[in-house]
Amino acid sequence: MIIAPSILSADLYNLENDLKKIGNADWIHIDSMDGVFVNNLTFGSNIVHAIRPHTDQLLDCHLMVDRPEKYIDAYAEAGADIITIHYEATPHPHRVLQQIREKGIRAGISINPGTSVEAIKALLPFVDLVLVMTVNPGFGGQSFIPEMLDKVSLLSDLRRINSYSFYIQVDGGVTNETAVDCVEAGADCLVSGSYVFNQEDPQEAISHMQNL
């Protein structure tokens, strides 16, 4: 299981130290919010640029921003490994996914709780990752919405039937307990923010989930 702690829950004043706390994680999940697509503002490609020289962990950039096409070049230049855009954030998701892949970066598509898997069916041949939101995007520390796991199972079936190879990622309210349900439904990458960073030993929490 790939574990991607979200630095939305890290101490930004002490980011170097908090990145050490998650040093055994496979990926680092970076939540960009623009105050338009979601009601919150966080960071942009500048934080990717800042972290990039200090780690070999994959930088997994989750863009909760309107019209993500405007920012792909900047994230590519900053050193992103994966860029996930929201299906709901642009009228041209297919074009943006192409734009990401043309930069040699893995392209992900994310769906809000109110969006069905059917909506992104036509995009599945063109993605490296599908992110199923298990909270409404915008804030860390919200409760997991278990009904979303049906989407994970459906994606897992579609992947098998069509021989696709995208990762299935789950984000929002992931704890050691909800992680078990995500794995059973067919997820292979879990984002966890508040749970991981609130543990006394985040590395232990990460390795526990890695072994699920």
Interface positions with Zn ion (CB under 5 A): 31, 62, 171
For ligand DX5, the binding residue among 85, 107, 189, 191 (CB under 6 A) is 191
Q: Which of 71, 75, 166, 195 binds ligand DX5 (CB under 6 A)?
A: 195
Which listed residue (18, 26, 31, 66) is catalytic? 31
Centroid of chain to Cα 170: 7
Distance CA 3, CA 170 (A): 10
What are the Cα distances from residue 210, in Å, to 119, 124, 178, 190? 30, 26, 14, 9
Instruction: Please say whether the beta carbons of 179 and 143 come within 8 A.
Output: no
Q: How many CB atoms lie within 10 A of CB 151?
A: 24
195 binds, among ligand DX5, Zn ion, none (CB under 5 to 8 A by kind): ligand DX5
Could you give the string, one character per residue 4-23, with x where binding to ligand DX5 holds by CB under 6 A and - elsewhere? Answer: --x-xx--------------
CA distance 93 to 161: 23
Interface mask (CB under 6 A) for ligand DX5, residues 148-177, using x and -?
A: -----------------------xxxx---
Residue showing the smallest CB distance to Zn ion in the complex: 62
Q: Does 199 bind ligand DX5 (CB under 6 A)?
A: no
Residues with catalytic roles:
31, 171
